[in-house]
Structure 1
Amino acid sequence: MDSNTLKQIEFFKSADIQTILNGKDETGTFYLNQLFNIYQEFFGETCSTCPSKILGYIQKVKSIKNNTMSQSERKYLLKEGAVIQVFGSSEAYSNANLTDEKAEKLLKENPNRSALFARIPEEFSAEKELSKMNKADLTAKALSVGYTEEDLKGLTNKDLVAKIEEKTAE
């Protein structure tokens, strides 16, 4: 997060609602326009013609922590409107509350969730491709990265994928 954005967020945290709704900065830019820009950067959507949402936008911007990553800084980004619900729990994730770490965990649990993402790092895409390969192809790939047939005896596809990832990460 750049220092200008951080300064703006700090301003919004201390400003009262009337100042945000009606005020302008020293350059003549309405604070409300700045609020919409910050909200868009962090949460990916705004409706500048929806007055009923403005107070919610103000509260969410005020709740942004200094270590929060904007959408442009994230490695993982869901498609617009996508929500991941975790089976058997009340957990649900959207771009508003999804961290890169949580995204990685959710994708490792279920690689099919990748269809819900607009942005995924290349290394995960390669891992996903490995998980789709059959045993013969995985064995050939493992042999090509330096394992012997003896190393691979009795391994499941999941074990082979782990071995290949381990070797290619070195």
Structure 2
Amino acid sequence: MPTREQYLELWGEDNTVVPPLAEWRSSFSAPSSAWPEVDLLPLDMSVAFTAYLDGEYELFDQFEVRYEEEGDSQVFVILGKQPGTATNFFALDPDTGIVHLMDPEAVTLEQVNASYAVFMEFLYRFAQFVEADDGEETRPARAEVLEQELRVLDPTAFADREHYWPMLMMLLKGEL
């Protein structure tokens, strides 16, 4: 796992925000392995992630989703959103530590990463990829290498070809 200094060097101090990680660790029931060691998130990462929200929800808001058919509800924490969308939020499940992409209005839920810690590692590696980008000619081959590395870190992130990370990798490889 990268150090705090490595995250800051890559993302930039003015492009980070500090989530209340210590508070979450003590009040949420997610296993300790789900939590990252570093309490930072990027504010903006091109096509992959943004913490800039422009609606009724704010960064780190907790919101409850009610499932009408089952009569159950579940709480999530907003970590950011998919750039270019109004309500596709990256949402942390505080009980499991899983990060989902979800639209709270439509109550759609798609697993992005098996844990918040792995989500952070994916964002870090994606930022490294972007930082080293030297154009469209080499991007597809580099994206293939990145995808293989990410698959090793979290195979569940690639379980469905139509989910977030596989789609982003296809975009980088020029397949979309």
In our comparison, the structure showing a higher alpha carbon Rg is 1
Same fold (TM over 0.5): no
Q: Which has the higher helix share?
A: 1
Using the size of structure 2 for normalisation, the TM-score is: 0.26
Using the size of structure 1 for normalisation, the TM-score is: 0.26
